[in-house]
């Protein structure tokens, strides 16, 4: 570092600076304005996009047979809803996603916990599971179809396997990496192995497990939709694919919108359950 000595004493002038004061009320309203701006942008931007789409369609800037206007999609959705067809498909997809998720998450938690706790088990299984982890799960659908037939089973298996890997990896990684200090604190009070899991390792890993679950949920919606394209005759995936085959473009878009909303809703649900189960995490990270 060099010292700048270019100014002769005679050239120095004094500068007085007064920092402007912002009253408490003013700063509070400024924060509130910022919050409203953010909310407005979050909702306003997609609304504007939809409005533009509507306009483009109405003005025939785009081919409304290929890109039906939002109002057309809503109309079609309403019809499908009223005649009960849509609800049946939603129900079928929801069933597969939720049951698959339950199976996959349970297995992921059990295997992840066991491997997170036992170094030996980790050494034995991790390389193999890691290798399967990178296989696109949808590629396993033919295998499941071959083994499990054409009913619900192959789709449940596919969703389950997908969810399993996300939950497994998060559970194992976080449990294995719980800081030694926490374990030591537990052991210093003579906690049993089960107690260690319940009081130390489990809660330490829980926030990260929910991160895994959230990702798992959105991917579960994805693979389930893809599986429904390929086999079966119900579910939102089938609705979309079948509409395309019939060139019922409006209906196809209804399916896409519904599956998007379903995914959003389900991941938000996981997030909410996660926040409810890990209040400490929330209170330490949420911006107030």
Partner 1 sequence: MIGSRHAPERVDAVGTVRLDKRGPEAAPWAVDAVGVGKTFRTTSRSVEALQSMDLRMREGEFVCIVGPSGCGKSTFLRIVAGLLPQTSGTLRLRTRSDAIVPIATVFQDYGIFPWKTVLSNVMFGLRVNGVARRESRERARHWLGRTGLSDFADSYPATLSGGMRQRVGIARALAVEPAVLLMDEPFAALDAQLREILQEELLAICEADRRTVIFVTHSLEEALVLGDRVCVMSARPGRLLAERVVPFERPRDRHLRESPQFGAMRAELWDLLRGEVEPQRAAHAVGGVRP
Applying CB under 8 A, the residues found at the interface with partner 1 are 179-182, 184-192, 195, 199-200, 203-204, 206, 278-281, 283-284
Tell me the CA distances in angstroms from 84 to 70, 156, 186, one per residue in order: 21, 24, 55
Residue 111 Ramachandran class (φ > 0 left, ψ -120 to 50 alpha, else beta): alpha
CB 168 within 8 Å of CB 132: no
Give least dist CB 121 to partner 1, A: 21
Give least dist CB 183 to partner 1, A: 9
- Name the helix (H) or strand (E) containing 253: helix 249-277
**Looking at beta carbons only, is 5 or 193 nearer to partner 1?**
193
Give least dist CB 91 to partner 1, A: 37
DSSP-assigned letter for residue 137: G
Alpha helices in 177-248 (DSSP H): 180-188, 193-196, 202-230, 236-245
**Looking at beta carbons only, is 203 or 271 nearer to partner 1?**
203
**Looking at beta carbons only, is 108 or 186 nearer to partner 1?**
186
For the stretch 220-248, what's the b/e string if a residue is b when 16 or more beta carbons lie within 10 angstroms of its beta carbon? bbbbbbbbbbbbbebbbbbbbbbbeeeee
**Looking at beta carbons only, is 186 or 235 nearer to partner 1?**
186
Give least dist CB 175 to partner 1, A: 14
Give least dist CB 122 to partner 1, A: 18
**Looking at beta carbons only, is 85 or 199 nearer to partner 1?**
199
Tally DSSP H helices, then E strands, for the chain. 12, 0
What are the structure tokens assigned to 246, written together?
């019939």
Tell me the CA distances in angstroms from 69 to 50, 54, 89, one per residue in order: 9, 5, 23
Give least dist CB 14 to partner 1, A: 36
**Looking at beta carbons only, is 69 or 213 nearer to partner 1?**
213
Q: How many CB atoms lie within 10 A of CB 255?
A: 29
**Looking at beta carbons only, is 38 or 184 nearer to partner 1?**
184
What are residue 235's phi and psi, to 5 degrees?
A: 100, 160
Give least dist CB 4 to partner 1, A: 33
């Amino acid at each position: 570092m060099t010292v700048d000595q270019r100014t002769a004493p005679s050239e120095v002038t004094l500068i007085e600076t007064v920092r402007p004061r912002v009253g408490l009320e003013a700063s509070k309203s400024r924060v509130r304005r910022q919050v409203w701006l953010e909310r407005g942008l979050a909702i306003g931007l997609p609304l504007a996009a939809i409005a533009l789409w509507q306009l483009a369609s109405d003005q025939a800037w785009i081919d409304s047979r290929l890109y039906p206007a939002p109002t057309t999609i809503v109309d079609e959705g309403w019809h499908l809803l009223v005649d009960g067809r849509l609800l049946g498909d939603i129900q079928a997809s929801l069933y597969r996603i939720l049951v698959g998720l339950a199976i996959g998450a349970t297995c992921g938690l059990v295997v992840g916990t066991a491997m997170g706790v036992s170094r030996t088990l980790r050494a034995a299984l991790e390389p193999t599971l890691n290798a399967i982890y990178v296989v696109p799960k949808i590629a396993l659908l033919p295998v499941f179809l071959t083994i499990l037939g054409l009913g619900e089973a192959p789709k449940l298996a596919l969703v389950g396997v997908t969810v399993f890997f996300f939950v497994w990896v998060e559970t194992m990684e976080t449990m294995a990496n719980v800081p030694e200090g926490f374990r030591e604190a537990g052991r210093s009070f003579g906690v049993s192995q089960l107690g260690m899991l319940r009081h130390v390792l489990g809660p330490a890993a829980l926030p990260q497990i929910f991160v895994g679950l959230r990702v798992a949920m959105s991917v579960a919606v994805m693979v389930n939709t893809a599986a429904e394209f390929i086999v079966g005759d119900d579910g939102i995936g089938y609705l979309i694919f079948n509409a395309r085959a019939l060139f019922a473009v409006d209906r196809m878009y209804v399916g896409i919108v519904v599956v998007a909303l379903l995914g959003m809703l389900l991941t938000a649900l996981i997030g909410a359950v996660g926040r409810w189960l890990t209040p400490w995490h929330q209170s330490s990270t949420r911006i107030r």
